[in-house]
Chain A
């Protein structure tokens, strides 16, 4: 719910107070452990796993359970966007002087004649894939500012989505989500070296 109170001000006049009646935007829910959150909005549904992630299967199962309950009430005529986003915050044990390619396969490069000591970076790449370029992937990499002489955390944000007009039933949406997961996995494993992945195997 959201409500607004405002007072347009005009020179030489007292402000006139106006309040808008509360509007319904949706429901936001968290589980007791605060590891998951669901947003049932007027324009869609998002389920987030904030920590304790294991595999996609239980998350997908829960997402579809919620979707079926949501769609049963809202009765959408079509789904226009299906998205899967993994924001990975990794502590990569870089030592001062390490090359980025020890852990990262696609870090930015500096021209040979420029200083080579990089303390932070941010890159964002948009790729399209699929037979008719129907899946878009946005890959954001950020090496955060170092703290106390140690390199900052590395964020690998992989956002893959497919836009179109899809039937709102599970039979249509589940294969799309599985395709997106495949693209996400391909990107995740492509952007990190074996050494970086070692602690996560």
Chain B
């Protein structure tokens, strides 16, 4: 048994949106896991926990603001959006989150007028992305099976390039 550090983008370890089991036992496990995740986030002060907390709080604000406009967001979309936030590369800042009129959740990174990316969490489970970096637009849709699709990661890196490695002394 050994620890494996995967090179792939991290995967949210429990996504209620992907839990389709319907038995009584499955329901008990789901309740247990959902409660445990919430408790774990409160108890832990790790970077991941803080990112999750910040993401959940920003997402809640956006959903509440959407509700005030009469827009309802499905629990499935909220769960997926949270998983997307959690799966973001560490150097990428938290996006601006808005709920669109059709109930989709939009995550916006606006670095400057020449460098923008919007990722939309769709009800179908797909991620829509629309980037404008310099004069090069790039847009499309990609599936989100629990880790960020390559197209989204590449666009994120175009808007927020990896910081240079620190020099060792």
Contacts and interface: CB of A to CB of B under 8 A. Distances in A.
Interface of A (DSSP majority class): strand
A181 interface: no
Interface residues of B, number: 29
A39 B25 CA distance: 18
Interface stretch (B52-60, B66-74, B107-115, B159-167): B66-74
B4 interface: yes
A200 interface: no
B6 interface: yes
B21 interface: yes
A6 B66 CA distance: 12
B2 to A, nearest CB: 11
A50 interface: yes
A87 B21 CA distance: 9
Contact of A80 (B20, B25, B143): B143
17 contacts: A4-B72, A6-B70, A39-B20, A42-B123, A46-B20, A48-B21, A78-B143, A81-B146, A87-B25, A89-B25, A133-B4, A133-B8, A140-B33, A142-B32, A155-B25, A155-B29, A163-B146
Interface in B38-81: 67-68, 70, 72
Nearest to B69: A8
Contact of A37 (B22, B36, B125, B147): B22
B145 A87 contact: no
Interface in A131-179: 133, 136, 138, 140, 142, 155, 157, 163-165
Interface residues of A, number: 35
A75 interface: no
B88 interface: no
B141 to A, nearest CB: 10
B91 interface: no
A33 to B, nearest CB: 15
A83 B20 CA distance: 10
Contacts of A46: 20
A126 interface: yes
A93 to B, nearest CB: 19
Contacts of B33: 124, 140
B4 A128 contact: yes
**Top-3 shortest CB links A-B:** A163-B145, A80-B143, A46-B20
A143 to B, nearest CB: 12
B168 interface: no
Interface string A18-56: 101000000000000000010101111010101000000
Contact of B26 (A42, A87, A164): A87
A6 B125 CA distance: 25
B147 A163 contact: yes
Contact of A136 (B11, B25, B32): B11
Contacts of A6: 67, 70, 72
Nearest to B144: A80
A122 interface: yes
Interface string B145-156: 111000000000
A190 B120 CA distance: 41
Contact of B22 (A48, A78, A155): A48
